[in-house]
Amino acid sequence: MKFFTLRPCLAALVVLLLSGCTETKLSTQAELPPPLIDKLPARVGVYYSKEFREYVHKETRSEIDYEITLGPAHVQNLDWLLKAMFAEVVQVEDPTHVAELQPPLVMVLEPRFEEYSFLTPKDVAGEAFIVTIRYLLTVYDGSGARVDAFTLTGYGREKAHKLASKVPLQIATQRAMRDAGAKVAVEFTDQESVRLLLRNPRELFAPPPATETPPPEEAAPPPPPSTGGG
């Protein structure tokens, strides 16, 4: 009797243990290839919100807890990329309050995460992790006025055979980051609103023209004394 009483208990214990979630935590690394572009003589600002700097994606799928830290590597990557694109890059505390900065800024960029999603080997027949990262890049002019916003999407893929594999998901994520970075380097400065802001970037670096004080005008000589007849 004791044997048959214990069997359901043991079975319940096994089910309980098997139902526990597996944790998969990973941090992305900052690694972008050097962009083959000419650096523009412009001074630009960039604003990283606290949410962007510390962004972590969390979700549970197939009883696996995924936690992917994205923010720090993105800040490092974007800083490196912008410094390769522009002569000077300045981090600002508020993209709408930059008008007083000297020398003035051509523009300010504010990146945000719109979406991070991935497919697992269970979702696709190719036994791979496929990652999609979508960003919103808002552009402000040198006075802090919002000018435009662009959506950029990066894609990455890496073969894997296990759902809880950290390295393939990390590699797929970093490939998506690299794909998005390449699109920023190649396509961003071709946008019409950005081209207008970059029309005369050298003027912002040039010192103001010296103003010459005109010499004081010489006083006219007094008229000769008149000679009156008596």
Residue pLDDT tens, the chain, 230 long: 444 343 444 333 333 323 344 566 756 665 666 666 789 999 999 999 999 999 999 999 878 899 999 999 999 999 999 999 999 999 999 999 999 999 999 999 999 999 999 998 888 776 899 999 999 999 999 999 999 999 999 999 999 877 667 889 999 999 999 999 999 999 999 999 999 999 865 444 444 455 555 555 655 566 666 655 54
CA nearest neighbour of 177 among 25, 31, 68, 27: 31
CB 111 within 8 A of CB 74: yes
How is domain 21-27+41-199 classified at the CATH fold level?
Double Stranded RNA Binding Domain (3.30.160)
- Distance (Å, whole) CA 20 – CA 228: 123
Whole-prediction pTM value? 0.74
CB 74 within 8 A of CB 137: no
- Distance (Å, whole) CA 169 – CA 209: 56
CB 26 within 8 A of CB 166: yes
Domain spans, the chain? 21-27+41-199
Q: Which helix (H) or strand (E) holds 107?
A: strand 107-119
